[in-house]
Amino acid sequence: MFYRENGQFKSTYRSDQQIFPIRQDRWFISALLLLAFVGVPLGASDYFLQAIFIPFLILALAAIGLNILVGYCGQISIGSGAFMAVGAYAAWNFGVRLDLPLVAQILMGGVFATLTGVVFGVPSLRIRGLYLAVTTLAAQFFMDWAFLRIPYFTNYSSSGNVSVPTLDVFGLPVVTPAQKYLFVLCFVAIIGLLSKNLVRGAIGRQWMAIRDMDVAAAVIGIRPVYAKLTAFAVSSFIIGVAGALWAYIHLGSWEPLAFDLNRSLQLLFIIIIGGLGSIIGSFFGAAFMVLVPVLLTNVPHWLGLDIPVDVASHIEHMVFGFLIVFFLIVEPHGLARLWSIAKEKLRIWPFPH
């Protein structure tokens, strides 16, 4: 009833190719951005900002990166945690050794993750499918090992643990949860917009052609080398930036364990549950991933049950595994598909067809 495109005529190509061709969508997104930039930092408590919103945004950013590689270009990667680690440690080293400004540190983290990503992307030119998925684990284990055993990367810190000093960007402090949240949000908004445009453009179409069938794509003149390596590069850049943010903003001080295989699997879950090949799906998946553990920890508490901590963590594991399987069975295309079905229905509501 309210969600109609009647009367919205497109008279130029430009207006036909907008990200959000429907006016109601544009209003909705503007309202959402307004809420995110103004409402949340004013309204949410520090706990909510720190435990939910900041991890949600950073994971969503990393998931966008992984989605470009897995969802758009079809190259399964179980090693994304490694690229987060590269981003985090590279950024930290640039901060410690060269004293670059904060934003430059984080971007340099992304650049180094890109380089690593391209190196580990080279095998994808020969190896495909599940074989490739397993070889990406090489990146994961190699990086885990490198940051643990090569003392140069942690600036010879004796415990292997590194931490960041007080953060400030162009003289503005990034200390309180609200400031941190806004800082992260800026990154997410800009990179989200850029990647949405990338996947809509020529390069995005090349990625999708490679995903659907790389031989056929090569036949019609898409260079697999170029398409696959750019996907690895862009994806690793975003994941690297997310890793730097995760380390700097969310953790503050960290060790290589923060970016182990579980992190990679978590990102993979996010994009599968959210929806492969969908930017908005990355946000849904990240929200799911952040909220479910919070709920699982709190539900027994609200119900007044008294469960020992270790049993609770096992139950959390179980429920989590169950939910993943359940979601895969109910909607293999992820939450993004549910979202688009809902939108379709809303368009013709109250009629069934």
Residues near another protein (CB under 8 A) are 70, 76, 123, 126-131, 133-135, 137-138, 141-142, 144-145, 148-150, 213-216, 219, 261, 265, 268-269, 272, 276, 310-311, 314-325, 328-329, 332
CB of 320 vs another protein, minimal distance in Å? 5
CB of 214 vs another protein, minimal distance in Å:
8
Residue placing its CB nearer to another protein in the complex, 44 or 312:
312
Considering beta carbons, is residue 149 or 301 the nearer one to another protein? 149
Minimal distance, residue 80 CB to another protein, in Å:
14
**Interaxial angle between packed helices 279-303 and 261-274, expressed in degrees from 0 to 180 and rounded to the nearest 10:** 110
* CB nearer to another protein: pick between 169 and 265: 265
Shorter beta-carbon distance to another protein: residue 79 or 87 = 79
User: What's the CA gap between 116 and 89, in Å, rounded?
Assistant: 13
Distance CA 288, CA 236 (A): 23
Smallest distance from the beta carbon of 131 to another protein, in angstroms? 5
Rounded to a whole number, what is the distance in angstroms from the first to the last CA of the chain?
Answer: 14
Residue 54 CB, nearest approach to another protein (Å): 25
Smallest gap from Cβ 151 to another protein, in A, equals: 9
Smaller CB separation from another protein, 175 or 311: 311
Contact 115/240 with Cβ under 8 angstroms? no
Q: How far is the CB of 51 from another protein (least distance, A)?
A: 22
CA dihedral over 236, 239, 245, 247, signed as positive or negative = negative
Write down the least CB distance from residue 287 to another protein, Å: 18
Q: Kindly state the smallest distance separating residue 249's Cβ from another protein, in Å.
A: 27
Is 252 or 332 the residue whose CB approaches another protein more closely?
A: 332
Report the residue number, 24 or 313, with the smaller CB distance to another protein: 313
Q: Which is nearer to another protein, 49 or 276 (CB)?
A: 276
Nearer CB in complex with another protein: 106/214: 214
